Amino acid sequence: MTNERSSRRLLAKLFGGLAALLLLLCGCSNLADSNQDETQPPNPALKPPNILFIVADDLGYTDLGVYGSEIETPNLDMLARNGVMFSNFYTAPTCSPTRAMLLSGVDNHPAGMGSMYRELAPNQVGKTGYEEQLHTRVATIAELLADAGYHTYMTGKWHLGYDLDNSPYARGFERSFASLAGGSGHFDLLPIVGPGKAPYREDRDLLETLPQDFYSSRFFTRKMIDYIDDNREDGRPFFGYLAYTAVHWPLQAPAESIARFSGRYDDGYDALHARRVAKLRALDLLAESTQPYPRLAEEPAWTDLTADQKKREARMMEIYAAMISDIDVYVGDLIAYLKSIDEFENTFIVFMSDNGAEGHPVGTSIGAVARWLEQCCDNSYENMGKRDSFLWYGASWARASVGPWRMFKGFTSEGGIRAPAFVHYPKLGGQQINEAVVTVKDVMPTILDLVGIDHPGLTYKGREIVPMSGKSMLPMLRGISDSIHQPDEAIGWELFGKTAIRQGDWKIVQEPDDAFWTVRNPVAEAYRWRLFNLAEDPTELNDVSGQNPEKLQEMIRLWDEYEERNGVIIPNQVMGY
């Protein structure tokens, strides 16, 4: 390995000058300093910025310190406080649709992820937009940055295709170490649905084993550092996509990490929710008058649990908190590495969660998981969090994680699609907390704008592609504009028949009735529309469709336009998720 790395560095030195020239010819340019005259063109002598995406899996809105958490996240808090935090950043309701939008700037339906892998309804099978992979109808950010001379690296969760021809290797990543499925064990190849092994691929090759000391957050970070370090002397910038599998179930963490939170949650999820909401108000991220969404009627109050139930529930949250803390620890290692090679100041960092916190009773809402649990794992109290346990923390802890918002992952209400996110780049102007509506589709246009690359439009390397529908945040981040989406612009979502449209302060949501866990809707047509005014009711407590029938119909017409524009096919049956 040492000889191989030395050889790579020798080649890097030999070709570094050529690479730098190519970067200048491609027109890539660094973001102008905030003091630079806006009328002057960027200085081509400046080194193009590195780009780093850090994505957490199922992290809730309040799970970082800067968003109201008691979990210590000093490294991520530092990035957020010295960058631009978003309070209205929107994703898809679940992971792979969000990732498709992040990497393409295109709605998840035309990008090929209209539903999740192996979750198609009969009427969606074989239809455009439901290929269950990141389709070649889109050009990825990795492909375009690679064309512009960037090194491109990916480690962590892919979830956008299992075969070589739809792997990170095939979609623009020069090096990759990818967990291909929606989740897996954090210490080994334990699949989320078995039997067998969780699928991993490094570059072209499927893996049969992982290192003995594998722990997902640590390994993915160190692998990213190795990839950057292998080529750092050739003078070319890098794009890194670090996609943690934490805190996706199964909840697992090293014993020493869990021990840091021993006893922290003994007073339960209701008390934690109250503290998180109070902290959001203290941070000016939530108005004093805003009422949080209540605990689901099907969920017991903490005081109604037995002593043994409380003990087990508290341990569940200790494991969850340990996983978040570990993400922060390893992000700190990456920051330290970037500083050691003098690249931290020249790296544009985007941090986000891929959706809201996971609140489903996974073992009952996904039948295959329930059947697998009978074979795979030991979930006794003594074994909780270890490599052969398989845990998730449920709706009441998820309510604490999303804070005041309605519902959680899988829903198009605010708790499912409003996520913590921020950008960090020392050359940015703008404000620390940005309240404008931003979507995950806006990230790729921002990066292309930053480095001076035009999107290819309708064709790319001989194939037809879909143009981006996201918008660049760069003028807003530099303080030139207050927003990127106009008040009359409609933004839409759909997954598993749950739908939403937001236009300005108005939002319509179509989802199951409130008794979600006890009343199953066999078809999505059974869902009903609700209308909310987010300026007055950001937590979607009060359906005002009865008082505003004309507005409801106007919003439904906007939904019809979104549905047609993006090729949405409402499923004729839905999974229990």
Cα–Cα distance between 260 and 431 in angstroms, integer?
A: 34
Beta strands in 390-511 (DSSP E): 418-424, 433-434, 438-439, 459-460, 463-464, 490-495, 498-503, 506-511
Q: What does the pLDDT read at residue 14?
A: 40
Task: Give how far the C-alpha of residue 102 lies from the chain's centroid of Cα atoms, to the nearest Å.
Answer: 8
Ordered by start, the domain boundaries in the chain are 2-31+43-565
- Find out whether 334 and 36 touch, Cβ atoms under 8 Å: no
Q: What is the pLDDT of residue 28?
A: 45
- Exactly one of 135, 151, 159, 424 is catalytic; name it: 159
User: Which pLDDT value is given to residue 293?
Assistant: 96
| CATH topology assigned to domain 2-31+43-565 | Alkaline Phosphatase, subunit A (3.40.720)
Residues 422/316, Cβ–Cβ less than 8 Å: no
The secondary structure of residue 290, as a DSSP letter, is: P
Helix (H, G, I), strand (E, B) or coil at 61: coil
Enter the pTM of the model: 0.92
Handedness of CA 80, 31, 111, 505 (dihedral sign): positive
CB contact at 8 A, 93 and 409: yes
159 is a catalytic site residue: yes
Give the per-residue pLDDT at 35: 36
Per-residue pLDDT of the chain (577 residues; tens, 9 = 90+): 444 444 444 444 343 434 443 443 344 444 333 333 433 444 444 789 999 999 999 999 999 999 999 999 999 999 999 999 999 999 999 999 999 999 999 999 999 999 999 999 999 999 999 999 999 999 999 999 999 999 999 999 999 999 999 999 999 999 999 999 999 999 999 999 999 999 999 999 999 999 999 999 999 999 999 999 999 999 999 999 999 999 999 999 999 999 999 999 999 999 999 999 999 999 999 999 999 999 998 899 999 999 999 999 999 999 999 999 999 999 999 999 999 999 999 999 999 999 999 999 888 778 889 899 989 999 999 999 999 999 999 999 999 999 999 999 999 999 999 999 999 999 886 678 999 999 999 999 999 999 999 999 999 999 999 999 999 999 999 999 999 999 999 999 999 999 999 999 999 999 876 555 544 444 555 678 999 999 999 999 999 999 999 999 999 999 999 999 999 999 988 877 7
SS3 at position 395: helix
CA distance 162 to 157: 12
Catalytic hit among 28, 95, 376, 377: 95
